[in-house]
Amino acid sequence: MTDNLILSGVTRQFGDTTAVDNVSLSVEPGQFVGVIGRSGAGKSTLLRLINRLVEPSSGSVSFQGSEITALKGKALRDWRRGCAMIFQQFNLVDRLDVLTNVLIGRLAEHGFLSSMAAQFTDEERALAIRALDRLDLVPQALQRAGTLSGGQQQRVAIAKALVQQPKIMLADEPIASLDPANATLVMDGLKQINAEDGLTVMVNLHTLDTARAYCDRIIAMRAGRVFFDGTARQLTDDVVRDIYGLQGLAEFNESVTSTAARPTGQFAQPA
Amino acid sequence: MTATADIASGSRPQGTGAIADFEIAFAARRRRMRTSWAIGAILFLIVFAFTSWIGDFFKVTQVSMPDGSREWRWIIPAGIPRLGEFIEKTIPALRWDTLGVDIAEWFWRWQIWMGLLFETILIAFMATVLGVIGGFVLSFPAARNLAPNRWVLLITRRYLEIARTVPELVWALIFVFCFSVGPMAGVLAIGLHATGALGKLYSEVNENIDMRPLEGVKAAGGTWFDQVRYGAVPQVLPNIISYTLLRFEINVRASSIIGYVGAGGLGQEFRVAISFQEYTDLSALFVIIFVTVMVIDYGSEKLRHRVIGLGERTS
């Protein structure tokens, strides 16, 4: 019996294309894992296979020894609550206020009637406000989510993920739609949750320097397969060229894809 | 020579080749488009002429002339004067010096008519409520992007289709047979038809929503109902209110005629007036319904514009 999140031989086909091809991974609790790779390499599908927003064609996903791919109904919803996901486009409900958006993270615990009537307990509201406070968003709690900036919306999404009281946090390109300052805020938020709450974080990234700065472990995908799995230091320029298929390019500069506010190389390791 | 100059002078061989290919492809596409337009126009004209012929638009009929003789005439110029004749019959005799008495004479059954008008509006209101409840609940399983599975989609869509394809008058005949003469049959008839019509409109609104909020609810462990309640409903609510008010206007018109088959409201007076050949009553009823519908249309249009935010904009 292990506490790890284990993927073994996970494959997902969409018609003729194989988005994720025979992926096997083992993620220890508390790890901060970055997933990198070209667009269409299968990063997004990989994350969605873990919380079953996408069903695997074959293979198995298990967590703490229990099989995830067999879950149904309430058990499946409990699992989704336990591995919160944040998205590139935030996926908030624009026309609802921030507080209600955060409380959506509690829906898995609700019955039909209390959910339809949007009846949340005082404890749940307190939990939501504390989560918003951690992300400095209490003043915006009663605003419509659609009126916030991108960076604020992504932090609302993180607060929603926190009230799910998850064991794993999945983040699908969380900073791809954000400017550098907001991207840093969001990544720092994820790192802080990882360090303070001991949550496992799996994050898809397309900026290499961000992956290097924040991740304990980097997994690179290419054409649906795991192409590299190691630490940031093991990720050499030659490996990077192979990952992104840049063999033709003599010069390759990481800072071209960077969204960091500071130049690459001087990026401080967050405390 | 610089690259820019090459492009400007068009001297690059691969460039001229590509442009020549484009010219050929463009000419071919234009030819195809013109041919399909010509075929479409001819087909339309044939179908239009055929339906006009089936619809007796070219019919020649025998008409009684003022001197009593019968002559063959084309039906359209022969029939139009009859319209004027009908309107002349329905117009009451109003004289300036006895105007009050004449109007009182015209609306001689006003006490009964006002009672029935009130009933007509109540029928429309209650039918709209029933239609909104039914249409709202069914619009989610009837939307392609939201239906939990193919069978639910198929069954709700067919149900909505049947509900709106059968006209209110036919539903009213059926319900008068079941529940006897009276406003209840009218409420059920208009309510059922409105369920079908609103369910279709609402489901089309549902099909145009952004699906990402629903994915967000699903990823947090929400059920299908949670996804609809939190992800879809907030997005579609303004449109639903707007369509509902529009439907109320339509239902007032429907409930003012439905009494013709005994299902309550002003419609029954039309039947009485026609069977007793009280043509001026017809025009009085028409005036009552016209004013009512105009007032309700105006009010609900103001309300709808406020809901969808047009009122806030200054022109």
Which among A51, A92, A118 is the nearest to B213, CB-wise?
A: A92
Query: Which residue, among A144, A160, A176, has the nearest Cα to A44 in the 3D structure?
Result: A176
B216, A94: Cβ pair inside 8 Å? no
B226, A107: Cβ pair inside 8 Å? yes
Q: Which residues on chain B are in Cβ contact (under 8 Å) with A164?
A: 220-221
Half-sphere exposure (Cβ direction) of B150: Cα atoms closer than 13 Å: 0
Interface residue B220 vs chain A (CB under 8 A): yes
Q: What pLDDT score was predicted for residue B161?
A: 94
Q: What pLDDT score was predicted for residue B61?
A: 83
Chain B residue with minimum CA distance to A49: B219
Residue with the bigger pLDDT between B260 and B13: it is B260
The ipTM value here is 0.85
Q: Give residue B1's pLDDT band: very low, low, confident or very high (50, 70, 90).
A: very low
Q: What is the mean pLDDT of residues A127-132?
A: 92
Token pair 């472990």: residue: A217
Statement: residue B66 has pLDDT above 80: no
Which segment of B37-41, B72-76, B171-175 scores lowest on mean pLDDT?
B72-76
Question: Global pTM?
Answer: 0.78
Statement: residue B128 has pLDDT above 60: yes
Q: What pLDDT score was predicted for residue B163?
A: 94
Using DSSP's 3-state secondary structure scheme, residue B176 falls into: helix
| Annotated domain spans of chain B | 3-54, 113-307
Interface residue A259 vs chain B (CB under 8 A): no
Taking the alpha carbons of B212, B218, B224, B228 in that order, is the dihedral positive or negative? negative
Q: What pLDDT score was predicted for residue B270?
A: 85
In a 10 Å sphere around its CB, with 0-12 CB exposed, 13-18 middle and 19+ buried, how is residue A137 labelled? buried
Which segment of A204-208, B66-70, B262-266 scores lowest on mean pLDDT?
B66-70
Write the DSSP symbol of residue A97. Answer: B
Architecture of domain B113-307: Orthogonal Bundle (1.10)
CA distance A51 to A85: 8
Domains of chain A: 5-256 (3.40.50.300)
Q: Which residues on chain B are in Cβ contact (under 8 Å) with A75?
A: none
Statement: residue B296 has pLDDT above 70: yes
CB B195 within 8 A of CB B186: no
Q: What is the mean pLDDT of residues B13-33?
A: 88
Shortest CA gap A231–chain B (Å): 29
A115, B223: Cβ pair inside 8 Å? yes
Statement: residue A2 has pLDDT above 80: no
Statement: residue B11 has pLDDT above 70: no
Percent pLDDT > 90 in chain A is: 27
Q: Give residue A170's pLDDT band: very low, low, confident or very high (50, 70, 90).
A: very high
Q: What pLDDT score was predicted for residue A247?
A: 57
Q: What pLDDT score was predicted for residue B2?
A: 45
Interface residue B235 vs chain A (CB under 8 A): yes
Percent pLDDT > 70 in chain A is: 90
In a 10 Å sphere around its CB, with 0-12 CB exposed, 13-18 middle and 19+ buried, how is residue B16 labelled? exposed
Q: What is the mean pLDDT of residues B26-44?
A: 96
Q: Which residues on chain A are in Cβ contact (under 8 Å) with B231?
A: 93
CA distance A23 to A20: 7
Statement: residue B298 has pLDDT above 80: yes
B220, A108: Cβ pair inside 8 Å? yes
Q: Give residue B26's pLDDT band: very low, low, confident or very high (50, 70, 90).
A: very high
Interface residue A104 vs chain B (CB under 8 A): yes
Which among A93, A160, A161 is the nearest to B234, CB-wise?
A: A93
Q: Give residue A125's pLDDT band: very low, low, confident or very high (50, 70, 90).
A: very high
CB interface of B with A, residues 116-175, below 8 Å: none
Distance of alpha carbon B145 from the chain centroid: 25
Chain A residue with minimum CA distance to B232: A93
Q: What is the mean pLDDT of residues A135-140?
A: 89
Which among B215, B221, B234 is the nearest to A95, CB-wise?
A: B234
Q: What pLDDT score was predicted for residue B199?
A: 95
A53, B226: Cβ pair inside 8 Å? no
CA distance B46 to B160: 34
- Helix locations, chain B, DSSP H: 3-9, 13-54, 75-90, 99-106, 110-139, 150-165, 168-179, 183-207, 212-219, 224-226, 233-257, 267-275, 279-307
Q: What is the mean pLDDT of residues B275-286?
A: 87
CB A175 within 8 A of CB A259: yes
Q: What is the mean pLDDT of residues B85-108?
A: 84
Query: Which of B223, B225, B228 is the best residue to mutate to test the A interface, defined by the most A CB atoms within 10 Å of its own CB?
Result: B223
- Helix locations, A56-179, DSSP H: 73-82, 98-103, 112-116, 122-134, 150-163
Mean pLDDT computed over every residue of chain A: 85
A116, B216: Cβ pair inside 8 Å? no
